[in-house]
Amino acid sequence: MKSSNVPLVSIICDTYNQQDYIKTTLDGFILQKTNFPIEIIVHDDCSTDNTVSILKEYEQKYPDLFCNIYEKENQYTKEGVGIWPDIDFPKARGKYIAFCEGDDYWIDPYKLQKQVDFLENNSEYGMVHTDFATCNKNGRIINSAINKKKTIAEGDVRNKLIVGNFVTTLTACARRELILEGAKLLKYGYLQADYPLWIFISNKSKIGYINEVTSVYRILKGSISHAKSLTNRFEFNESKFNVIRDFLNHFEYSDEIVNKINKNYASLLLRYSIYLNSNNLLERRNRLIDTANIQVSKLQLCLTYFVKVKFFRTILFYLNKFKYFLFSRSV
C-alpha cells in the first residue's frame, strides 16, 4: 500500500460508539495491499466512548493514510443533514470510493486491488461488489459465505436491483463521479443511503460481482436493520419501498417490474398487519391491491380473510410470537 497526495481510492467509514469493534475495522484497512495510493476517511459522529482515542492512535501511527472527521455534535440526529452527501463524500478525493461501517471489517488484503483492477479494465461498469461472511458481536462467524448458494446478477442489473437489494455496503467499491451524481437524489428521510445509490448506479452503468469473500458483516441486535421492535422493523422495510417508489418515478421501468414491486409491498403490509395487529396496515394493503390491480394468490386471499376477523388475527399474531413461518415474502 502506497501513500500519496492523490489517492486512487477513498475508504469511507462512519462510526459512533464502536470502541469494541473499530480496531478490527481499521486493521482491515491497513491490511490492504495495493499498487496505488489510498486514503482512509473515518467519520466519528461525536462518540461518547473510547472510539475517538482509538482513531487518533491510528491517525498518529499512519498520518499519510487517515483523513478523519471528528464531530463536536452528533450529526445523524439533525434534520436536513445527510452524513454521506453533506459530510463524507465532499471529503473524498479518490477516483473510487469504498465503504465499510465501523463495526464491519475486511479480511482479504487484496480486496481493493481486485476491485480497482476490475473497474480499471471495465469502463462500462460503475461499481463492483463481493461476497461476504457474517459474525456476531463477539466475532464468531455465523455464515462463512452469504452468497455461496446464490446466483448474483451482474452487468445490467437495474431490473433486479429495483426489486430487491443484493449489494452489501461493506463489499462495494464504486466510481466517485457516479457516487457524487447519485448523492444529489438522496433524501434526508431515507433510513438507508446505500440502496438508493446502488439503484442510481445501476441505471447509469453495469455492476460487477466478484465471487469471493472479502469482508465480514457484524450482526448486532438493536441496529437499524436488526431492530428488536417490530414497529421499527416495519419502518425500516417500508423505507426501502419508499426508495423504490421514488426511483420508479425518476427512471422508467416496465409494467411487469412495477407490478412485481407492488405485489411485494402488498405482501409486506399483510405480514406486518398480522405482526402488529394493525387494521390500518391491512386497509392500506387492500387499497394498494385495488388501485394497482394486483392479482393475489389463494393463500393471500385466505390470510386476508382471517386477518379481517379479530379472533383469527389474534391467533395469527401469537403464532408469530412462537416463530411460526406463516407465509413467504412474495405473493
Please give the full DSSP string across 130-168, using - where no structure is assigned: EEEEEE-TT--EEES-TTTTS----BS-HHHHHH-----
Task: Identify the pLDDT of residue 331.
Answer: 34
User: For the purposes of burial, counting CB atoms within 10 Å of the CB of 115, is it exposed (0-12), middle (13-18) or buried (19 or more)?
Assistant: buried
User: For the purposes of burial, counting CB atoms within 10 Å of the CB of 79, is it exposed (0-12), middle (13-18) or buried (19 or more)?
Assistant: exposed
User: Do residues 23 and 57 make contact, with C-beta atoms less than 8 angstroms apart?
Assistant: no
Task: Identify the pLDDT of residue 230.
Answer: 83
* Backbone torsion region of residue 246, taken as left when φ is above 0, otherwise alpha when ψ lies between -120 and 50, otherwise beta: alpha
CA 70 to chain CA mean position, Å? 23
Q: What is the CA radius of gyration of the chain?
A: 21
Q: Which three cell numbers stand for residue 269?
A: 403490509
Task: In the chain, list all ranges with CATH 3.90.550.10.
Answer: 9-218
Write the CB contacts of 41 (distance below 8 Å, at least 6 apart in sequence). 10, 11, 12, 13, 66, 67, 68, 69, 88, 91, 92
Nearest-angstrom CA–CA distance, 122 and 131: 20
Q: Whose grid coordinates read 409486506? A: 268
Tell me which CATH homologous superfamily contains domain 9-218. Answer: Spore Coat Polysaccharide Biosynthesis Protein SpsA; Chain A (3.90.550.10)
**Rounded alpha-carbon distances, angstroms, from residue 315 to 234, 277, 297:** 20, 10, 22
pTM (whole model) above 0.75: yes
pLDDT (tens digit, 0 to 9) for every residue of the chain, 331 residues total? 555 578 999 999 999 999 999 999 999 999 999 999 999 999 999 999 999 999 999 999 999 999 999 999 999 999 889 999 999 999 999 999 999 999 999 999 999 999 999 999 999 999 999 999 999 999 999 999 999 989 999 999 999 999 999 999 999 999 999 999 999 988 777 888 999 999 999 999 999 999 999 999 999 876 655 556 888 889 999 999 999 999 999 999 999 999 999 999 998 998 888 788 788 998 898 899 888 887 766 556 556 555 555 555 566 666 665 543 444 333 3
Phi and psi, residue 10, nearest 5°: -105, 125
Q: Which three cell numbers stand for residue 181?
A: 451524481
Task: Identify the pLDDT of residue 190.
Answer: 83
302-331 in b/e burial notation, b at 16+ Cβ within 10 A? ebbeebeeeeebeebbeebeeeeeeeeeeb
Task: Identify the pLDDT of residue 324.
Answer: 37
